[in-house]
Amino acid sequence: MTQALAFLYNPHRFMAFSAWAAPLFGALALALAAAGLWLGFTAPEDYQQGDTVRIMFIHVPAAWLGLFVYVCLGGASFLSLVFRQALADAAARAAAPIGAVFTALALATGSLWGKPMWGAWWVWDARLTSVLVLFLFYLAYMALRASIDDEAKGARAAAILALVGLINVPVVHWSVEWWNTLHQGRTVFAAGGSRAATVFLVPLLLMSLSYMSAFGALWLVRIRGEVWRRRAAAAEARLAR
Partner 1 sequence: MLDLDPGPYGFYIWTSYGVSAAALAWLAVSSLAFARRWRRRAEALETRAREVDPGPERQP
Contacts with partner 1 by CB under 8 A lie at 26, 38, 41-45, 50-52, 54-55, 58-59, 62, 97-98, 101, 104-105, 108-109, 112-113, 115-116, 214, 217-218, 221-222, 224-226, 228-229, 231-232, 235-236, 238-239, 241
Closer to partner 1 at the Cβ: 82 or 199?
Answer: 199
Q: Report in angstroms how near the CB of residue 38 gets to partner 1 at its nearest.
A: 8
Instruction: Please identify, using beta-carbon distances, which residue of 26 and 154 lies nearer to partner 1.
Output: 26
The three-class DSSP label of residue 162 is helix
Least Cβ distance, residue 229 to partner 1 (angstroms): 4
Question: How far apart, in whole angstroms, are the C-alpha atoms of residue 219 and residue 234?
Answer: 23
Nearest to 38, CA basis, from 21, 57, 64: 57
Q: 217, exposed or middle or buried, with CB in 10 Å at 0-12, 13-18, 19+?
A: buried
CB of residue 2 to partner 1, shortest distance in Å = 28
Q: Which residue intervals of 120-167 are DSSP H helices?
A: 126-147, 151-165
Q: Which is nearer to partner 1, 60 or 81 (CB)?
A: 60
- CB-nearer residue toward partner 1: 81 or 110: 110
- In order of 141, 155, 158, 202, the CA distances from 146 in angstroms are 9, 10, 10, 41
User: Which residue number, 73 or 218, has a Cβ lying nearer to partner 1?
Assistant: 218
Q: State the nearest-atom distance from the C-beta of 210 to partner 1, in Å.
A: 10
CA dihedral 60, 64, 70, 76 (to 10 degrees): -140
Closest separation in Å from C-beta 26 to partner 1? 8
